[in-house]
Amino acid sequence: MIHSNYRTWLVSGAVGLGLAACVQEVPERYVPTVTPKLVVTGFIGAGDSLLEVEVARTLPIYTVKQNWNEVEIVEGAEVRISDGQEAWTLELVDSAGVYRRIIPTDFIKPERTYYLHVTTPTGEQAEALCTVPSPGGDYQMTYTIDTAVRKYPYQEIDDTLQYLSLFWDDVPGTGDFYHAYAHLRYEAIYYDWVDGQIVDSVWTEQESHIFFSDGISGTSDEGRDGERLVARGGYLQRLNDGGNAWEQRRNLRLTAYLLRVDENYYRYHSALQQQWESDGNPFAEPAPLFSNLEGALGAFGAFHATTLEIEL
């Protein structure tokens, strides 16, 4: 049996050694340089009038960049999307590395294959293809708006929260992928205060995106072929003290979107969602990002959207 004083010495000695190690100079080590890789992402939708493709380069782990979401954008790239007969060239229009082009709404069609080709000024080339999903049929989309009360132990007023759920029928046949979200538009009132008094007010147009509990990853019909599927937990807004939050808003318009997506879209966004959820968790399982490009990282995918207007 180890004597208690000896145990204390062992612990104290270990802590002392640890602290001593903290103040020692760490010898310089060689950190190998890594050549940045080209990253290209773009997703096209049937009937869309806008093409968008982001072109950037990866950043090394050891970098002077301060923000995790900073990227090295690529300027002067040639970005083209074609259907094998007609091609459109996209142009860089902002500082985020996004190339855009307005197109006729009949260019992107269901069940047609499209090709992406990117060439950078330094000679890098990236290629990918995707096929736009078919409409799929009548989804029989419905919705519910539920409320939940969140209580606070030291406050007299509880929060009443509203959540949106979206239901639809899966297309019979395996291999279907979906992504549901909603878009809320409304007018909100803002007040001008002077010496604690309201002197003026103005109504302004506002909007917000509603994401469900699965985030951006979406869902598949694996093991649920032909069944009724649901996306839950879409946070709408908070109602307090008899609905004062509603009184500060007017002309609410809610549109739900159900995207039938291809496998490229689904696998890329599922991996991206896993990356976000594991951020900062040392015990999380690594989730490599899906890529379907040749000559670059990233994804090129497609979707077909069905909308549902919801009365509030």
What is the pTM assigned to this prediction? 0.79
Pair (253, 274) in one structural domain: no
Average pLDDT over residues 50-64: 81
pLDDT average, residue stretch 53-74: 72
> Mean per-residue pLDDT for 259-278?
89
Give the model's pLDDT for residue 289: 84
The b/e string for 184-214 (b: 16+ C-beta within 10 A; e otherwise) is bebeeeeeeeeeeeeeeeeeeeeeeebebeb
Question: In this structure, what CATH number is given to the domain that contains residue 74?
Answer: 2.60.40.10
Instruction: Based on the fold, state whether residues 65 and 176 are members of the same structural domain.
Output: no
Q: Do both 82 and 127 map to the same domain?
A: yes
User: Which of 66-75, 82-91, 222-231, 258-267 is predicted least confidently?
Assistant: 66-75
Most confident of 60-64, 188-192, 283-287, 291-295: 291-295
Whether 310 is covered by a domain: the verdict is: no
Judged by average pLDDT, the poorest of 92-96, 125-129, 308-312 is 92-96
Range of the domain at 98: 32-133+267-303
Out of 18-27, 130-139, 272-281, the most confident range is 130-139
Is residue 127 a contact partner of residue 292, using CB atoms and an 8 Å limit? no
Instruction: For residues 257 and 271, state if they share a domain.
Output: no
Residue 214's closest CA among 166, 174, 180?
A: 180
Please report the pLDDT score of residue 16 as a whole number. 38
The rounded mean pLDDT for the chain is 82
Give the integer Cα–Cα distance in Å for 236 and 231: 14
The residue-averaged pLDDT of 156-182 equals 87
Ranking 1-5, 45-49, 303-307 by mean pLDDT, the lowest is: 1-5
- Give yes or no for residue 236 having a pLDDT over 60: yes
Query: What's the number of domains the chain is made of?
Result: 2
For residue 183, being part of any structural domain is answered with: yes
Handedness of CA 224, 227, 233, 235 (dihedral sign): positive
The encoded tokens of residue 63 equal 């970098």
Asked whether residue 176 is domain-assigned, the answer is: yes
In the predicted structure, residue 167 carries a pLDDT above the cut 90: yes
**Mean pLDDT (whole number) for 49-69:** 75
